[in-house]
Amino acid sequence: MTALRPDLAIIAAKVPPGSRVLDIGCGDGALMAALRDRSGIDARGLEIDAANVAAAVARGLSVVQGDADADLGDYPDAAFDYAILSQTLQTARRPHIVLDHLVRIGTRAFVSFPNFAHWQVRASLLWGGRMPVTRLLPERWYDTPNIHHVTIDDFRAMVAERGITVEDAWFLSGDKRTRSAAANLFAEHAVFLLRR
Amino acid sequence: MPDDARFGLRRHVTLAGPLRLDGGMLLSPVEIAYETYGTLDPDGSNAVLICHALTGDHYVASEHPVTGKPGWWTRLIGPGLPVDPARHFVICANVLGSCMGSSGPASENPATGQPWGMAFPVITIRDMVRAQAMLLDHLGVARLRAVIGGSMGGMQALSWASTFPDRVAAAVVIASTARHSAQNIAFHEVGRQAIMADPNWRGGAYYGDGAPPTAGLAVARMAAHITYLSEAGLTEKFGRRLQHSPERPNGAKSFGFDADFQVESYLRHQGISFVDRFDANSYLYITRALDYFDLAEEHGGLLANAFRHTTARFAVISFDTDWLYPTSDSRAIVHALNAAGARASFVELSSPFGHDAFLLDAPEMNRVIDGFLRAGER
């Protein structure tokens, strides 16, 4: 088994055994498979790409093809202990609605996203005058799936506005944890644990 | 088990019944034609039930005695395939109402000694499933590792999980729906009217020395066959190309009503070859069963209630060019499964072949089903 992406590894370590989990934008099910292989985690997935869904189902996972923007309304309240949205918020058409659904469907929610305020991104735009193409944001402006560029400070402001509580947060630079002071400048990646 | 007469190819059993039908009648005896492949594990845990579509039969993985063609789902069932007789005990039964050996309008009415004809009771998908459950009792299969079906077979798979929640561990529902739409019913009504308009139909009493309503049945099949394909598939296969014949070797318009276009001759062939293996009255009864199918209605109008008691895992698969049972129908099933908290997987696969895609070469479908089944066998 290949190592989990760093943000997924943080989430996987924090989900207690026996939990019910919905992974929204679960890709080919890497996180779900890791959760399943630990004791008694009932993981379900939602994924937009048919090939990813087929790959995940072929791994024996319960994954439904669907769109976070359109289909989260079909899930009942508090149906899961944890709802997970990793690297998907910035691709949603209406991220704030997706976030509301997340803390409605899950008692708690994990959200991870790339930080657009990272110093390299800032430097690229400031000095190069071009939209940044970095390791974590490898696509160019015209073919990126990221349609809502969000920073850690923006995210904190949005969850506060919506009355959502931040229980915990982790910040990453490369594969390494980074300090939370000045995370908006130094973290490439953020993982938040939220609840309604 | 090898010497147990219940198991193997071309089996037929007469069960005493009675079978209580949704329409209120009691049917007895109940005849069922079926096949099994593979060996039932001593603990009976490896049974997989395959449910056939409207005009299918129990020759799912063996040669058809009338057409001489291989089984209709040999792409899914066989050595090294997702449903593997080396691993699974595979059962496929001819549905109630059909004409390949199970009780239907062509079989004998015990009260008269004559074929039932239109006196055969109208049946439902759930009745078909109850008859299959009687067969499983006969075979000593308490619980299914999986029930798998496409189209009408998918409706049976849904009905199985809903009617016998304790007997199903997993259900695979392919190119199917939880309810027949007005459009579905409309197409079926065209077919039924074609049969009933055939002067040979004679109120369904054509068995014995009379000629069967083959013209009407062929038209019904032609109309239905169009709904199994896609416009893109038809265009790719035939376009507006003309039919070659001995009189017109390069193809030309006859300025008459011969099958000038290749698509016409293809449909005529589909219609004509169908009447050799299918009974017109069975077509009436089975299309009726499909039209009556509305799983939500059976559960107070809320589809999720159909799955309230199930512990089964579900895999729902649709094809993007299927306009008979489009992806939105599959999504409705998945939403209900989610609302009921059932373990559901769903994928829409891409295919140019329309509704029929599940019967054709579909490697992605096989991959999904294989993984889904193996996940339950860990």
Which of A182, A190, A92, A65 is closest to A136 using CA atoms? A190
Which pLDDT does position A179 carry in this prediction? 86
Which pLDDT does position B252 carry in this prediction? 84
Which pLDDT does position B208 carry in this prediction? 86
Q: Which residue's entry shows tokens 């509305």?
A: B294
Which pLDDT does position B1 carry in this prediction? 56
Q: In chain A, what is the greatest distance between 2 CA atoms, to the nearest angstrom?
A: 50
Q: What is the DSSP string of B102-122?
A: SSSTTSB-TTTSSB-GGGSPP
Q: What DSSP state is assigned to residue B202? A: G
In contact, B305 and B157? CB cutoff 8 Å: no
**Contact at CB, B375 and A61, closer than 8 angstroms:** yes
Residues of chain B positioned with their CB less than 8 A from the CB of A56 = 345
**Tens-digit pLDDT profile for chain B (378 aa)?**
557 899 999 999 999 989 999 999 999 999 999 999 999 999 999 999 999 999 999 999 999 998 899 999 999 999 999 999 999 999 999 999 999 999 999 999 999 999 999 999 999 999 999 999 999 999 999 999 999 999 999 999 999 999 999 999 999 999 999 999 999 999 999 999 999 999 999 999 999 878 999 999 999 999 999 999 999 999 999 999 998 888 888 778 888 888 889 999 999 999 999 999 999 999 999 999 999 999 999 999 999 999 999 999 999 999 999 999 999 999 999 999 998 989 999 999 999 999 999 999 999 999 999 999 998 887
Which pLDDT does position B172 carry in this prediction? 98
- CA dist., res. A28 & res. A55, Å (int): 6
Which pLDDT does position B254 carry in this prediction? 86
- CA dist., res. B94 & res. A5, Å (int): 50
**Closest Cβ opposite residue A65 in set B346, B372, B376:** B346
- Phi, psi torsion values for B29, nearest 5 degrees: -75, 175
- CA dist., res. B64 & res. B200, Å (int): 27
Q: What is the DSSP string of B298-338?
A: GGTT-HHHHTTT---EEEEEEETT--SS-HHHHHHHHHHHH
Q: Where are the beta strands (DSSP E) in chain B?
A: 11-15, 19-20, 26-27, 30-37, 47-51, 89-93, 146-150, 170-174, 313-319, 343-349
Which residues, given as ranges, of chain A have pLDDT below 50? none
A44 touches chain B (CB under 8 A): yes
A33 touches chain B (CB under 8 A): no
Which of A187, A175, A179 is closest to A117 using CA atoms? A187
Within 13 Å and on the Cβ side, how many CA atoms surround B199?
Answer: 0
Residues of chain B positioned with their CB less than 8 A from the CB of A57 = 315, 345, 347, 368, 371-372
Assign residue B80 a region: left if phi > 0, alpha if psi is -120 to 50, beta otherwise?
A: left
Q: HEC string of B14-61? A: EECCCEECCCCCEECCEEEEEEEECCCCCCCCCEEEEECCCCCCCCCC
pTM exceeds 0.95? no
Which pLDDT does position A145 carry in this prediction? 86
Which pLDDT does position A2 carry in this prediction? 63
Residues of chain B positioned with their CB less than 8 A from the CB of A24 = none
**Contact at CB, A57 and B364, closer than 8 angstroms:** no
A50 touches chain B (CB under 8 A): yes
Residues of chain A positioned with their CB less than 8 A from the CB of B335 = 74
**Contact at CB, B315 and A57, closer than 8 angstroms:** yes
Between the alpha carbon of residue B270 and those of residues A136, B217, B335, the distances in Å are: 56, 11, 36
Which pLDDT does position A94 carry in this prediction? 94
Which domains occur in chain A, in start order? 6-116+148-195 (3.40.50.150)
Which pLDDT does position A174 carry in this prediction? 82
Which pLDDT does position A121 carry in this prediction? 87
Q: Active-site residues of B: which are they?
A: 151, 322, 355
Which of B49, B58, B56, B71 is closest to B13 using CA atoms? B58
Which pLDDT does position A52 carry in this prediction? 94
**Contact at CB, A62 and B341, closer than 8 angstroms:** no
